Each structure stands twice: as structure tokens, then as C-alpha cells.
Amino acid sequence: MIITHPAPLELWSETIIPDWIDYNGHMNVAYYTLVFDHAVDAFFTYVGLGRDYREATTGSTFAVEHHITYNQEVVEGDVVRCTSRLVGFDEKRIHHYHEMYHVADGYLAATCEFLSLHVDLSIRRVTKLPDAILERLGAVMAAHEKLPPSDNIGRVIKRPIAPAR
């Protein structure tokens, strides 16, 4: 049986709560990370690396790098949804990317790109992903590699102005 996977995945949405709003009247940067972390949890559950995997094995994932872009603000009461896409993977690493959209107005609010590692928590070391997970990631990658490229994947911060003297 051939299983096809949505591209991108749409696995997470939530409402912006009052505690997440800063003195500028919009969601504080820390809570963008929280919302994306929730989307990552849903993504990892989808590929077989969620809480059930952690409870059944000594394996888990650790984020080692992530980059967020803030495209348009969201405020208290807004509902956002996150899409997820697998960018690449190997035996030990997973490169994934997420976009946050304002549900009512449809605009792209933010993006987040991650590099995560598979870790054996019993030795606190990076280890190979199980073959079944690698197969699942391969099937998801087959669907996601057909997505058009995103300008937000692989971004770096560029210094457009001279440093202060």
C-alpha cells in the first residue's frame, strides 16, 4: 500500500492568549517560539518521534538550531495555524520548516526553520534514527520535495549597515 502525505502538513493551530502580548500590543517574540514548538511537537508525532516514541524508547529529538522570521504581527485573540514541511534528513538529523498563518486573514505571520538531532537519552548522545522512522521520513520527503522552494529556508542574517563607532 502506498501512503501519500500532505505537502505541506497542516497539524497545528491555536489562539493567541493575553499573557503572550507585550507592551507593543502584539505577540512577544518568545511566544512565537512557543507556538512553533507546539507545531514541531505535532510534526514529530506525525513522523513517529513524539511523546509515545519517547516513552517507549530512550530516543528523543533535540533542537540544535532554529531561525524565525517575523513577517506580520498577530495580536490577542487571533487564531494562527502552522504548516510543516520536511526539508531534509539523514541518519541523525532532521531539517524541518514551519509557517504560521493568521487564520481569519490568511497572511503569513512568521516562519521558523529548525535543525533537530536524534538523541539517545540513556547516554545523552546523538544516535542513528530507527530504520522505521527513516522510512517514514523518506515517504514524507518524497511528498515535500515537490513543494516549491521557499525564500525563508536557509536564510542568514545579513548586516546591511555599518557597525556603530
Segment 138-155 shows an average pLDDT of: 95
Asked whether residue 156 is domain-assigned, the answer is no
Counting beta carbons within 10 angstroms of the beta carbon of residue 93, is it exposed (0 to 12), middle (13 to 18) or buried (19 or more)?
middle
Asked whether residue 122 is domain-assigned, the answer is yes
Asked whether residue 3 is domain-assigned, the answer is no
Asked whether residue 151 is domain-assigned, the answer is no
Number of domains in the chain: 1
- The DSSP output letter for 46 is H
Asked whether residue 22 is domain-assigned, the answer is yes
Q: Which domain holds residue 92?
A: 9-144
pLDDT in tens, 15-63: 999 999 999 999 999 999 999 999 999 999 999 999 999 999 999 999 9
For residue 65, the domain's CATH number is 3.10.129.10
